[in-house]
Amino acid sequence: MVSDMLSSSLWIVGPELILAVGAMVLLMIGVFKGEKSAQLVTSLAVALLIIALLWLVFIAPQGVAFGGSILSDSFASFMKVLVLIGSAAAVVMSAGYAESERFNRFEFPVLIVLSTLGMMVMVSAGDLITLYLGLELQSLAIYVLAAINRDSVRSTEAGLKYFVLGALSSGMLLYGASMVYGFTGQIELTAIAASLAEGERSLGLIVGLVFVLAGLAFKISAVPFHMWTPDVYEGAPTPITALLAGAPKVAAMALIVRFAMEGFQPVAIDWQQVIVFISIASMAFGAFAAIGQKSIKRLMAYSSIGHMGYALVGLAAANVEGVRGVALYMAIYLATTLGTFAVILSMRREDGPVDQIEDLSGLSRTNPVMATFLTIMMLSLAGLPPLAGFFAKYFVFMAAVESGLFALAVIGVLASVVALYYYLRIVKLMWFDDQAKPFLPAPIELRVVLWVAGLFVFPVYLFVGGPVFAAASAAAQSFF
């Protein structure tokens, strides 16, 4: 019986197994072929992530694995697809960077694959132990990746800062998890929900809930747990920043949604106020703090803090429209972020990469295609119709209105008006200001990512919006 259960479980976690075994094989290839194998390992890592993606979509069955520790439902599948796309794009974009910066390290793609494995475990975590193990696997690999350029003081500082604060947040999360276990006697999320539905909620449980939410809020860099974000984004090698801004955010957001909706739906009223607070604080902070930034990597850090606030608006609604909104928001946010980072990685002159916003001025004359795409990205991040970003914001705000959170929706709209200023400033620099020195021509892989992401945001989303919306709706139904 045990072996029956095991084999059905193994089918369900097929994509994760592919990544785990594949990462070890890639590492062996790297070790035996030496430093010059970095390009080969990078291409194989992309192939591996794509195979896992196809396996996930076409072969892997849905269901409950390992006695409830892994929940593989439509929500998990939707988020895992996003995570795999985000990671694959980050690996693709790192290929040229590693070459030009001369740190050809084959461990780089291997660690990204292992981190992706952690994210997939997070997304389908069914109990508190899986949740923690997935989170640690994901974070530990990213701490190393942030510090991987060890000859650069900035990169080392970014890695160390991220590690120390990340360890602190893990501590908070574990403390909260132990409280939850102590007061419900359960570690499985569904069992926690069942015991909450029948019993009276106790004070200790709420304390545990708040601590776990604080630990998770750190991972999505929501205010007031955002302090690490700008420094880490700026110091880490740019392809890692592109990874950090995309896939782990999606995974951690999925984890928060699952933790709140699967485990704590009976006490929604208690966590809703926490989510409303961090959502408002993140939106406001993201909007105002980004205004004075000079480095575009720092700007993207503040922008991502704000966007996590908008996504949390959907969770605060705690209804099926809200969860659908979060899923949709993360999909569109991921595409836009990847496109923007493809531009940032292309900002390179003869004397190395640059990351000041000033360097973009007059881009429309030297590289009109890139300027057009970056304009689309910026306006989509700002949330202007008819770009994809507008629909993302529309659905989370509608969900908030539907569950009666009018103030939250109004504050969200006001914050996006403020944020519009700094996105438009970049557009103005590119189209109306004096021409700066032109960039070197972008490598082919960056152009591919830019074209795919740019065309998705506008106008492809107008045509595929229906199916994406349907997938997000199916994902949201998992919790109801």
Partner 1 sequence: MLGLQAFFFYIFAFIAVGGALMVVLSRNPVHSVLFLILTFVASAGLFLLTGAEFLAMILIVVYVGAVAILFLFVVMMLDLDVGQLKQRAVQYAPFGAVIAVLLLAELIIAVSGGLADPAPMTMTTALPMAETGGLSNIEALGNVLYTRYILFFQLAGLILFVAMIGAIVLTLRHKENVRRQSIPDQVARNPATAIEIKKVESGRGI
Number of residues that bind partner 1 (CB under 8 A): 44
Minimal distance, residue 144 CB to partner 1, in Å:
4
Of the pair 2, 58, the CB lying nearest partner 1 is at 2
Of the pair 31, 440, the CB lying nearest partner 1 is at 31
SS (H, E, C) the chain: CHHHHHHHHHHHCHHHHHHHHHHHHHHHHHHHHCHHHHHHHHHHHHHHHHHHHHHHHHCCCCEEEHHHCEEECHHHHHHHHHHHHHHHHHHHHHHHHHHHCCCCCCHHHHHHHHHHHHHHHHHCECEHHHHHHHHHHHHHHHHHHHCCCCCCHHHHHHHHHHHHHHHHHHHHHHHHHHHHHHHHCCCEHHHHHHHHHHCCCCHHHHHHHHHHHHHHHHHCCCCCCCCHHHHHHHHCCHHHHHHHHCHHHHHHHHHHHHHHHHHCHHHHHHHHHHHHHHHHHHHHHHHHHCCCCCEHHHHHHHHHHHHHHHHHHHHHHCCHHHHHHHHHHHHHHHHHHHHHHHHHHHCEECCEECCEHHHHCCHHHHCHHHHHHHHHHHHHHHCCCCCHHHHHHHHHHHHHHHCCCHHHHHHHHHHHHHHHHHHHHHHHHHHHCCCCCCCCCCCHHHHHHHHHHHHHHHHHHHHHHHHHHHHHHHHHHCCC
Q: Does 82 bind partner 1 (CB under 8 A)?
A: no
Minimal distance, residue 58 CB to partner 1, in Å:
24
Of the pair 179, 345, the CB lying nearest partner 1 is at 179
Q: Does 181 bind partner 1 (CB under 8 A)?
A: yes
Residues 18-37 that bind partner 1 (CB under 8 A): 20, 24, 27
Minimal distance, residue 197 CB to partner 1, in Å:
12
Of the pair 82, 142, the CB lying nearest partner 1 is at 142
Residues 410-469 that bind partner 1 (CB under 8 A): none
Q: Does 234 bind partner 1 (CB under 8 A)?
A: no
Q: Which of 60, 119, 123, 147 binds partner 1 (CB under 8 A)?
A: 147
Q: Does 180 bind partner 1 (CB under 8 A)?
A: no
Q: Which of 7, 203, 434, 466 binds partner 1 (CB under 8 A)?
A: 203
Span of 36-44, 179-187, 414-422, 454-462 interacting with partner 1 by CB under 8 A: 179-187
Q: Which of 67, 224, 292, 441 binds partner 1 (CB under 8 A)?
A: 67
Minimal distance, residue 50 CB to partner 1, in Å:
21
Minimal distance, residue 107 CB to partner 1, in Å:
5
Which residues sit at the interface with partner 1, rule CB under 8 A? 2, 6, 9, 20, 24, 27, 65-67, 69-70, 105, 107, 110-111, 114, 117, 121, 129-130, 133-134, 136-137, 140-141, 143-144, 147-148, 150, 159, 181-185, 195, 199-200, 202-205
